[in-house]
Structure 1
Amino acid sequence: MIIRIDSLTFRYPNGTTALDGVSFSVGAGERVAIVGANGAGKSTLARHLVGIERPASGTIEIDGRRADGLPIAELARTVGFVFQNPDDQLHAASVVKEVGFGPRNLGFPPARRAELVESALRRTGLTQWRDTHPHHLSLGERKRVALASVLAMDTPVVVLDEPTTGQDHASVVLLGNLVDDLAADGRTVLAITHDMDFCVEHFDRVLVLDHGRIAWDGPITGWLAHVAASDDQALELPQLARLGRRLGWEGPVTTVTDFLERLTPESGPAPVTSTVP
């Protein structure tokens, strides 16, 4: 296991308990979506993985080492964190300098650093803006700069905080492909998200937090069935699952292919035709 958390508890100075005995493990190459209502403790949990917050009790192990005592600079070699608000982490005068800061700070050799920077720019669609000041870009583009800066650090764990917020459809597709590629490369991806469609399409496992405790931890299909059978209004089913439910179908619908097959069970998926002349 690359991440192991045992009985993690955290309280803010005002006495609020944000995490209450959280325990779970994540293996290399897993894609885990962390979901839950606002204030459930999702971002607080993520900040523990990079040392921004420190536990009141419990332990965190990352890559076989106790992480709760390591400095942030050391944790950055293993865990890359993309903030929900990119302006919280962007500081350089150009996109290429921003993306190059992490690998340079980690002491990577110049050749490897250049290769990682160019790869990160290409994979996030930012090559044409390499010399642009990040704050001259849109919110969605700045979020991609923040993502590229983490990709360039080549960490085995990548944590994304609300990655699809402020992104257009093309950027969400690009982000989903990146998540799939990272997992295929054996890297672990955790995402805090309210985007249930993105969660279902690109993650294998869901961890649900409720008032600082784990309310559900398991595969996507089991979670969909659980939500569909419950009256919990805090977690909305993805669009296809909601539509299947309205049509009276048994079991959750998870993909477009699944939806089309249920529409035409005898002859297979209906052909997709364009209405554009």
Structure 2
Amino acid sequence: MTSIAVQSLSFYYKKEAPILTDITLTFDQRTTAIIGQNGAGKTTLVKLLKGLLKPVSGDVLINDQNTRAVSVSKLAGHIGLVFQNPNDQIFKSKVMDEVMFGPLNVGQPKEEALTNSMNALQMVGMEDKKDDHPYDLSLSERKLISIASIVAMNTDIVIFDEPTIAQDHAGKEIIKRIIHDLQKKGKWVITIIHDMDFVAEAFERTIVLAKGKVLLDGATREIFLQKEVLVQAGLNLPHVTQLGYLIEKNKTFLTIDEFTEDSRF
């Protein structure tokens, strides 16, 4: 059974400069966005979830396994991370080889890895690129290949680091659909992201980090009601939410469709 629990977690490289302080969180199957200014501790938290860093104090439990006692390679079978920059992730000379690398590395038999890889490429709409060299593709296409390579691993948990970077509107719609498809398959989806419009459109829960602490945590619509707190944390509201507040102070719109379908406009 999938579970993620963060218990009294603190982390620092230098004691006088804490990065995360006494973080306690319990994740669930809601799609979850972690937001905050640069330096808020988002990336460090994700590295701790993935087991790439170990807590200074407190614990991170992934499927009831304490990351202190479990190797990164073993955790890789449970939690996948899509890098912010696909160029930091992709290293094979053929798309299919790149996508199959993760599944094979976590112990999937070759035929299973091939099937999962093709299914993942179909999910991201890149099956026709399976024989291409990744670096013959655009940056946005390489981002989709990097997503496919993690999806193919069939992990319980998928974490995206800034998934909308280098994506136009069409690319963002593809990634939004991928997130929803993963959730339907029972996967837990988490992202760290600066794109507030995408957070409003694609994520059910939002966690706000500020100066290494949890400032807000709740349903995304409720978080964007806390506009004064978000502004104090140096965060912008989604554009459609800002527009809604200009017109009707007590109405929180998360999408363009909500705005245009509202009977009063």
Judge conservation of contact 1:241–1:252 (CA < 8 Å) in 2: yes
Looking at structure 2, the residues matched to 36 and 154 of structure 1 have their Cα atoms a distance apart, in angstroms, of 29
Q: TM-score, normalised by structure 2?
A: 0.94
Looking at structure 2, the residues matched to 50 and 112 of structure 1 have their Cα atoms a distance apart, in angstroms, of 24
Q: Name the counterpart of 2:10.
A: 9
Q: Name the counterpart of 2:46.
A: 46
Percent sequence identity is: 35
Q: Which has the larger radius of gyration?
A: 1
Looking at structure 1, the residues matched to 195 and 6 of structure 2 have their Cα atoms a distance apart, in angstroms, of 25
Judge conservation of contact 2:36–2:194 (CA < 8 Å) in 1: yes
Looking at structure 1, the residues matched to 189 and 230 of structure 2 have their Cα atoms a distance apart, in angstroms, of 28
Q: Name the counterpart of 1:152.
A: 152
Looking at structure 1, the residues matched to 250 and 57 of structure 2 have their Cα atoms a distance apart, in angstroms, of 43
Q: Name the counterpart of 1:117.
A: 117
Q: Deviations over 1:53-103 (max 9, x none)?
A: 111111000111112221111010000001111122211111110000011
- How far 1:199 sits from its partner (Å)? 0.6
- How far 1:146 sits from its partner (Å)? 1.0
Sort the Cα spacing of 1:89 and 1:246 in 2 relative to 1 into closer, same or farther, 3 A: same
Looking at structure 2, the residues matched to 216 and 6 of structure 1 have their Cα atoms a distance apart, in angstroms, of 17
Judge conservation of contact 2:221–2:252 (CA < 8 Å) in 1: yes
The one-letter code of the counterpart of 1:100 is M
Tell me the secondary structure at the aligned position of residue 225 of structure 1.
coil
Q: Name the counterpart of 1:273.
A: none
Tell me the secondary structure at the aligned position of residue 224 of structure 2.
helix
The one-letter code of the counterpart of 1:46 is V
Judge conservation of contact 1:11–1:18 (CA < 8 Å) in 2: yes
Q: Name the counterpart of 1:166.
A: 166
Sort the Cα spacing of 1:202 and 1:230 in 2 relative to 1 into closer, same or farther, 3 A: closer
Judge conservation of contact 1:161–1:191 (CA < 8 Å) in 2: yes
Sort the Cα spacing of 1:126 and 1:6 in 2 relative to 1 into closer, same or farther, 3 A: same
Q: Name the counterpart of 1:207.
A: 207
Looking at structure 1, the residues matched to 16 and 53 of structure 2 have their Cα atoms a distance apart, in angstroms, of 15
- How far 1:153 sits from its partner (Å)? 0.1
Tell me the secondary structure at the aligned position of residue 122 of structure 2.
helix
Tell me the secondary structure at the aligned position of residue 102 of structure 2.
helix
Sort the Cα spacing of 1:142 and 1:16 in 2 relative to 1 into closer, same or farther, 3 A: farther
Looking at structure 2, the residues matched to 205 and 132 of structure 1 have their Cα atoms a distance apart, in angstroms, of 37
Looking at structure 2, the residues matched to 230 and 168 of structure 1 have their Cα atoms a distance apart, in angstroms, of 26
Judge conservation of contact 1:228–1:237 (CA < 8 Å) in 2: no
The number of aligned residues is: 264
Tell me the secondary structure at the aligned position of residue 206 of structure 1.
strand
Pair 1:65 & 2:70 matched:
no
Judge conservation of contact 2:210–2:233 (CA < 8 Å) in 1: no
The one-letter code of the counterpart of 1:202 is A
Alignment of structure 1 residues 257-268 onto 2, 5 Å: 257-262=257-262, 264-265=263-264
Q: TM-score, normalised by structure 1?
A: 0.90
Q: Name the counterpart of 1:237.
A: 237
Q: Deviations over 1:137-165 (max 9, x none)?
A: 22211111111110000001000000101
Judge conservation of contact 1:30–1:187 (CA < 8 Å) in 2: no
Looking at structure 1, the residues matched to 81 and 199 of structure 2 have their Cα atoms a distance apart, in angstroms, of 18
Looking at structure 2, the residues matched to 233 and 216 of structure 1 have their Cα atoms a distance apart, in angstroms, of 10
The one-letter code of the counterpart of 2:119 is S
Pair 1:128 & 2:155 matched:
no
Looking at structure 2, the residues matched to 133 and 103 of structure 1 have their Cα atoms a distance apart, in angstroms, of 19
Instruction: Structure 1: give runs of 5+ residues left out of the alignment.
Output: 271-277
Sort the Cα spacing of 1:216 and 1:113 in 2 relative to 1 into closer, same or farther, 3 A: same
Looking at structure 2, the residues matched to 133 and 199 of structure 1 have their Cα atoms a distance apart, in angstroms, of 32
- How far 1:233 sits from its partner (Å)? 6.0
- How far 1:256 sits from its partner (Å)? 2.9
